[in-house]
Structure 1
Amino acid sequence: MLKKGIIYKSTGIWHLVKSGNIFYKCRIKGKLRLHNSKSTSPVVVGDRVSFILDNENNSQGIIIEVQKRRNHIIRKSVKLSKQFQVIASNIDQIYLIITLNYPITFTQFIDRILVTAEAYRIPLNLVFNKMDLYSSSEKNEIKKLKNIYELIGYKCYKISALNKDSVNKVSKSMKNKVNMIIGHSGVGKSTLINTISPNLMIKTSNISDLHKQGQHTTTYSEMFDLSDKIKIIDTPGIKGFGLVDMDSNEIKNYFPEFKNLNGNCKYNNCLHLNEPNCAVINALNLNKISESRYKSYLNLIDENSTYRIK
């Protein structure tokens, strides 16, 4: 019997598919595994699939087709890797959880995810977490970062994930949407979800005393149904986020602050590196563009020319 459903959890061999209000444990048909050898998995959370039930066990099935994805978030984790990982698909918006320390979220990491979200036209919100733990100087640093990203069009929130009142604005913005939560281990992704929906009781962890980094508790991406028609995709903590298959001319178009300036450069194919009469460099010198954002851009251009996946 043919059924259609959505992938709620993918653990390698088995995939949890929701069809109607029933969950089925499904495997992948062999041909699907071979369809894209560069991907770590042909099926990811958020995928809409067709599957047939097992003749001997009606709670299990075989996925025979994956529908075309509306969008997805993709990365390669190491520079020399030829494989890439699609983290989730068919996403309405992303929430990138950021902490100033324990663990540190560097601006280059933020900007890499922003570029990927821009490439796949997925709205992204920045959530600065653990505001209750910061000193006055650290709160000023958050204020500066928030200003940088709000000026170029990104919605920003300041929260303490354990405090229900502080996350209300975030949860309200999630209604009737598929929301992906992403960030380093230990930034409070699972804590945020538990605060929004305490009944889930997703496992959380402490920060490592040795490395001052988060420890993985979410092993696989998983989708949850919350109240107010909120769907949340919880993802494992990510250390590195490499771009996949973007050329330099594409990358420059995924920095919103460059868009209105690209046409003002002397050369149409200007990459905003050291070309004469470059409108972006001129704006940088006038402090109209953030220096940290421009450094992220240079880093991506350099990495792209060296490690781009073919």
Structure 2
Amino acid sequence: MKARIYKSTGSWYIAKAEDGVTYNARIKGIFKLEGITSTNPIAVGDEVDMDIEAVQEESAIITHIYDRRNYVARVSPHNKRQHHIVASNLDQSILVATLKDPKTSQGFMDRFLISCEAYHIPAIIVFNKADIYRKKELERFEHLRGIYEAIGYKVILASVQEGTGLDEIKALLKDKITLLSGHSGVGKSTFINAVFPQFNLRTQEVSGWSGKGMHTTTFAEMFDLDGGGQIIDTPGVREFGLVDITKQELSHYYPEMRALLNGCQFNNCMHIEEPGCAVKKGVAEGIVSEDRYVSYLGILDTMNDKEY
């Protein structure tokens, strides 16, 4: 019988069959997936075949995994040489960011967007906690919105506490499988509880001494939405390490740079010191935002081709 994975706890999975019944499922043997060396052979969002093991206990054995149409992966927090598939078969992703308590860095945002670009997953950026923003944060929001909307990303200012922006986000979620990601403490679980109170997820305050969020979600989990569609809540991510991307390819995942690459004098241009570089010309002319270019150089600098 065919089913979709709704939760993974490492060795056991919660799978929902096409008839709506959920099963505790485990893997039969070890899956060798073509070209994927991830720490988790099966991820939330995967479509699988399974055999019922015990009807009363609603347990099953996963016998086959279908090809993924896409997935988001990050460097494994436990092993820098392996990667961890966050979720698969997505229609879109929402990055929940905050400009204070905790502050989401532009580097983190760009790494997430690069990962989505690499796997052809449309991304939306939601800046939460608008209710605590002062003039400085609101000016920063307008600046960032200008940058990201100009290159095709949808940007929403929201406050879960005050209910701002929630209807717009709710409309975007309808009939889609959406990945929800961001640092711990940005309000992902609070957001889900506000929009879909039936889930009643645990939430925690931002840690006072570090200004960082405390982890409340330990495993990725999928939820069915009342109006149609699913949302996948993920553990708070401190860092988003890119995988399977070489230094040479990095600029291809910046939409505003991708549009200019054919204009570079050298087809292996890294857009740093090379003469006749269309990307650097684009920065000088304001076509490519200086912030994004600096972020590109920063990410490039941290990339070790052996690890990516």
Separation in 2 of the partners of 1:75 and 1:284?
29
Counterpart position of 2:205: 206
Counterpart position of 1:98: 97
Separation in 1 of the partners of 2:74 and 2:169?
25
Identity within the alignment, %: 41
Asked whether the equivalents of residues 183 and 236 of structure 2 are also in contact (C-alpha less than 8 Å), the reply is yes
Counterpart position of 1:152: 151
User: For residues 72 and 27 of structure 1, do their structure 2 counterparts lie closer, same or farther at Cα, with a shift above 3 Å needed?
Assistant: same
Asked whether the equivalents of residues 218 and 235 of structure 2 are also in contact (C-alpha less than 8 Å), the reply is yes
Q: Does 1:70 align with 2:69?
A: yes
Separation in 1 of the partners of 2:95 and 2:180?
6
Large movers: runs of 4+ above 6 Å: 33-37
Secondary structure of 1:169 counterpart: helix
Secondary structure of 1:233 counterpart: strand
Instruction: Give matches, 1:207-226, under 5 Å.
Output: 207-226=206-225
Asked whether the equivalents of residues 91 and 180 of structure 1 are also in contact (C-alpha less than 8 Å), the reply is yes
Counterpart position of 1:239: 238
Instruction: Give matches, 1:36-55, under 5 Å.
Output: 38-55=37-54
1:154-198 Cα distance to aligned partner (Å, 9 max, x none): 001000023335310011011110011000000011111111111
Asked whether the equivalents of residues 35 and 42 of structure 1 are also in contact (C-alpha less than 8 Å), the reply is no
CA-CA distance at 1:140 after TM superposition: 0.7
Structure 2: runs of 5+ lacking an equivalent: none
Secondary structure of 2:183 counterpart: coil
Separation in 2 of the partners of 1:37 and 1:109?
24
Structure 1 length-normalised TM? 0.94
Separation in 1 of the partners of 2:173 and 2:54?
39
1:28-66 Cα distance to aligned partner (Å, 9 max, x none): 112227988831110110000111111475500111111
Counterpart position of 1:191: 190
Separation in 2 of the partners of 1:287 and 1:74?
32
257-266 or 149-158, which deviates more: 257-266
Separation in 1 of the partners of 2:199 and 2:28?
31
CA-CA distance at 1:92 after TM superposition: 0.4
Counterpart position of 2:279: 280
CA-CA distance at 1:307 after TM superposition: 4.6
Asked whether the equivalents of residues 129 and 158 of structure 1 are also in contact (C-alpha less than 8 Å), the reply is yes
CA-CA distance at 1:248 after TM superposition: 2.5
User: For residues 80 and 236 of structure 1, do their structure 2 counterparts lie closer, same or farther at Cα, with a shift above 3 Å needed?
Assistant: closer
Separation in 2 of the partners of 1:189 and 1:13?
25
Asked whether the equivalents of residues 207 and 215 of structure 1 are also in contact (C-alpha less than 8 Å), the reply is yes
Q: Does 1:7 align with 2:5?
A: yes
- Over the aligned positions, Cα root-mean-square deviation in angstroms equals 1.9
Structure 2 length-normalised TM? 0.95
Asked whether the equivalents of residues 79 and 307 of structure 1 are also in contact (C-alpha less than 8 Å), the reply is no
Secondary structure of 1:8 counterpart: strand
1:126-168 Cα distance to aligned partner (Å, 9 max, x none): 0010001011121111110111100111001000023335310
Letter in 2 for 1:10: S
Asked whether the equivalents of residues 180 and 234 of structure 2 are also in contact (C-alpha less than 8 Å), the reply is yes
User: For residues 267 and 137 of structure 1, do their structure 2 counterparts lie closer, same or farther at Cα, with a shift above 3 Å needed?
Assistant: same
Asked whether the equivalents of residues 124 and 155 of structure 1 are also in contact (C-alpha less than 8 Å), the reply is yes
Separation in 2 of the partners of 1:156 and 1:34?
36
207-216 or 256-265, which deviates more: 256-265
User: For residues 34 and 121 of structure 1, do their structure 2 counterparts lie closer, same or farther at Cα, with a shift above 3 Å needed?
Assistant: closer
Asked whether the equivalents of residues 246 and 305 of structure 2 are also in contact (C-alpha less than 8 Å), the reply is no
CA-CA distance at 1:259 after TM superposition: 1.9
Asked whether the equivalents of residues 36 and 42 of structure 1 are also in contact (C-alpha less than 8 Å), the reply is no
46-55 or 232-241, which deviates more: 46-55
Q: Does 1:135 align with 2:120?
A: no
Counterpart position of 2:228: 229
Separation in 1 of the partners of 2:83 and 2:249?
19
Separation in 2 of the partners of 1:306 and 1:8?
34
Separation in 2 of the partners of 1:225 and 1:37?
28
CA-CA distance at 1:230 after TM superposition: 2.5
Structure 1: runs of 5+ lacking an equivalent: none
Counterpart position of 1:300: 299
CA-CA distance at 1:290 after TM superposition: 1.6
User: For residues 79 and 254 of structure 1, do their structure 2 counterparts lie closer, same or farther at Cα, with a shift above 3 Å needed?
Assistant: farther
297-306 or 196-205, which deviates more: 297-306
Number of residue pairs matched by the alignment: 307
